[in-house]
Amino acid sequence: MLALVGTVPDLRFPLVHGAVGWRDGAPTVDGRKLPVHRGTPALVAAAAAASRCLDGPEVYAFLAGDVGRGDGSRELYRFLARRLPEFPFDVLTFHYLQPDVDWHNKVLFAVEEMKRRPVLVADAGFMYAAKMSGQAPAYDFFTPDAGELAFLADEKAPHPFYTRGFVLHGSNDVPRLIRRAYEHRNAAAHLLVKGEKDFVANEGGILGTVDHPSCEAMEAIGGTGDTLTALLSVLCGAGFDAEEAAAAAARANRLAGCLADPTPATQVRELIERIPQALGRVLKGASTQVADGVVP
């Protein structure tokens, strides 16, 4: 079973947890429908779509409402620190949460108490907290973009907002930043770096890159990183090894984007609708060639 942890941008949304369902074209958790724009609701929707297509792992979610004040995140941290050891997850993915090192550490302690240690994936705010805590190597995957990779590579930065200029300036030199992140022990066992070219790396270096298919407009679309993390999590939950899961997730995410024939104004919901088709093609080893937005 795969579990996703994150926040919903609605103050009235209470702490809920449960298996992810689907109603009227939107995911549900504990009977509550999630509005899919971006952020963790997009992660949940994409994971549900991918898992259905694969007949993959059951998707479970822990969610709370938070618009940046941190109260929903802290409620969620408190719940997880107490209750996480009761759950039998194969993969545990942390997402949009207010970065808080103390609470991060309490949750990581709770993970260590689980009967079987799940594959740990961290993205967004929880990845920031994981780096700041000095516990990055405890994770199996981080999924940064170029700006976040520069933050991981800057051993002094407490948040991407404070990444030093000389590190950020070289954000096009992804291999150098990856090396630097590992040198300072600020990277997970594997990195899936999303960008114009996606990189899969571990401490030994670059394991592979994915740059096809390519749609330039995807960089502007909010939520394409969330869909990538969803695909990675589902594939890990379906038993793929780390490198295979990362490469297939990157290919499927790119293909889903290109199938939507995107412009910089496209919204992530349109990509999520293409995930089953894209993932199906990638896993069959079929062509990912896209001509005018149509897979031949």
Partner 1 sequence: MGPPPEIRTGCDLVVEFPLVEELNVLRELDNADIPPLRVVPVSAPLLEPVSLFHVKDFGTCIMVRAANMKITVEKESLVIVNVSGGGCPDVPYLAAELTGKTLEEAPAPKELGHTLCGYALQLAYEEVRRQCSP
Stretch that binds partner 1, among 120-128, 201-209, 248-256, 275-283 (CB under 8 A): 120-128
For position 107 contacting partner 1 by CB under 8 A, the verdict is no
Structure tokens at 265: 């104004």
Neighbours of 103 (CB within 10 A): 22
Q: Which residues pair with 124 in a beta bridge?
A: none
Structure tokens at 166: 């000389």
For position 96 contacting partner 1 by CB under 8 A, the verdict is yes
In eight-state DSSP terms, residue 117 is P
Structure tokens at 217: 């407009």
Cα–Cα–Cα angle for 153, 205, 159, nearest 5°?
Answer: 15
Tally the C-alpha atoms within 13 A of residue 162's C-alpha that lie toward its C-beta: 7
Nearer to partner 1, 113 or 197 (CB): 197
Residues between 133 and 172 with contacts to partner 1, criterion CB under 8 A:
145, 147-148, 151, 156-165, 168-169, 171
CA distances from 4 to 61, 116, 210 (A): 5, 17, 25
For position 195 contacting partner 1 by CB under 8 A, the verdict is no
Sign of the Cα pseudo-torsion (32, 33, 37, 39, in order) = positive
Structure tokens at 205: 């270096």
At closest approach, how far in Å is the CB of 96 from partner 1? 5
Stretch that binds partner 1, among 23-31, 117-125, 202-210, 253-261 (CB under 8 A): 117-125
Nearer to partner 1, 71 or 244 (CB): 71
Nearer to partner 1, 174 or 282 (CB): 174
For position 100 contacting partner 1 by CB under 8 A, the verdict is yes
Stretch that binds partner 1, among 19-27, 54-62, 98-106, 282-290 (CB under 8 A): 98-106
For position 293 contacting partner 1 by CB under 8 A, the verdict is no
Tally the C-alpha atoms within 13 A of residue 255's C-alpha that lie toward its C-beta: 26
CA distances from 285 to 142, 278, 281 (A): 26, 11, 6
From residue 205 to residue 224, the character string flagging contacts with partner 1 as x (rule: CB under 8 A) and all else as - is -----------xx-xxxxxx
CB within 8 Å of 76: residues ≥ 6 apart: 5, 7, 15, 62, 63, 64, 97
Nearer to partner 1, 102 or 112 (CB): 102
For position 239 contacting partner 1 by CB under 8 A, the verdict is no
From residue 262 to residue 281, the character string flagging contacts with partner 1 as x (rule: CB under 8 A) and all else as - is -xxxxx--------------
For position 38 contacting partner 1 by CB under 8 A, the verdict is yes
Nearer to partner 1, 58 or 71 (CB): 71
CB within 8 Å of 66: residues ≥ 6 apart: 7, 8, 9, 11, 72, 73, 96, 97, 98
**Residue 100 in contact with residue 77, Cβ under 8 Å?**
yes
At closest approach, how far in Å is the CB of 229 from partner 1? 11
Among 27, 56, 57, 72, binds partner 1 (CB under 8 A): 72
44: nearest Cα among 10, 67, 21:
21
Cα–Cα–Cα angle for 138, 144, 149, nearest 5°?
Answer: 95
Nearer to partner 1, 66 or 90 (CB): 66
Binding site for partner 1 (CB under 8 A): 7, 9, 37-41, 66-70, 72-73, 96-100, 123-128, 145, 147-148, 151, 156-165, 168-169, 171, 216-217, 219-225, 263-267
